Amino acid sequence: MGNLKNEEVGSSRACRLLLVDDSATVAEFVSRALPHCNVERLENFVDLPAYLRKASPEAVILDVEMPGLSGQGFAQYLRRCTKAEIPIVLYSSVDSARLAAISDEVGAVAALRKTGDPAALRDIIHKVLGPRAIHP
């Protein structure tokens, strides 16, 4: 599990987000785009049970193309690992039509293409978690 530096600035009131993405660069970008969130990262599904024993993320930002287990598979695994209904936001480079189809399949609350636009990411997280995720 890779923990990003936002944890250092995150207070107990900061929104806790789990980012599931095999890209360290994307993880750093998300962390910087959401400076008021406590962003933690898993590179793959293997560490999920151990992570959930220690943490209760308020939302999961999920890439759908990862080695080992697809985003769909991860979403199903997440549902099995926890009784809590954790909102899933898909965040991927796949085309919009495919992303929408996967979003329906996994019951994601939102889906966003990775366009490198931090404002778009903040808008989505704001809609999912409210203003606390954007403003301290």
Partner 1 sequence: MTRTGADAALAALRGRLVTLEGPTLRAPAALVVCAVHGVRVGVDLALCREVLPLAATTPVPEAPPWVLGLVRVAEREIAVLDLVGRIEGSSRLPALDEHILVVHADDRELGIVVESVFGVVATEGASLQEPPVGELASWMLGVVEHEGDPIFWLEPAALLVDLPGDAT
Contact footprint for partner 1 (CB under 8 A): 23-29, 32-33, 35, 93, 95, 114-119
Residue closer to partner 1 (CB basis): 65 or 104: 65
What is the spatial distance between Cα 103 and Cα 24, in angstroms, rounded to a whole number? 23
**Closest to 70 in 3D by CA, of 96, 106, 18:** 106
Residue closer to partner 1 (CB basis): 33 or 69: 33
Tell me the closest approach of the beta carbon of residue 133 to partner 1, in angstroms: 15
Maximum CA extent, the chain? 38
Tell me the closest approach of the beta carbon of residue 109 to partner 1, in angstroms: 20
Report, in angstroms and rounded to the nearest whole number, the Rg of the chain calculated over CA atoms: 13
What is the spatial distance between Cα 9 and Cα 63, in angstroms, rounded to a whole number? 25
Residue closer to partner 1 (CB basis): 35 or 52: 35
What is the spatial distance between Cα 46 and Cα 26, in angstroms, rounded to a whole number? 20
Residue closer to partner 1 (CB basis): 35 or 87: 35
Tell me the closest approach of the beta carbon of residue 85 to partner 1, in angstroms: 27
**Closest to 78 in 3D by CA, of 37, 102, 107, 99:** 107
Tell me the closest approach of the beta carbon of residue 111 to partner 1, in angstroms: 14
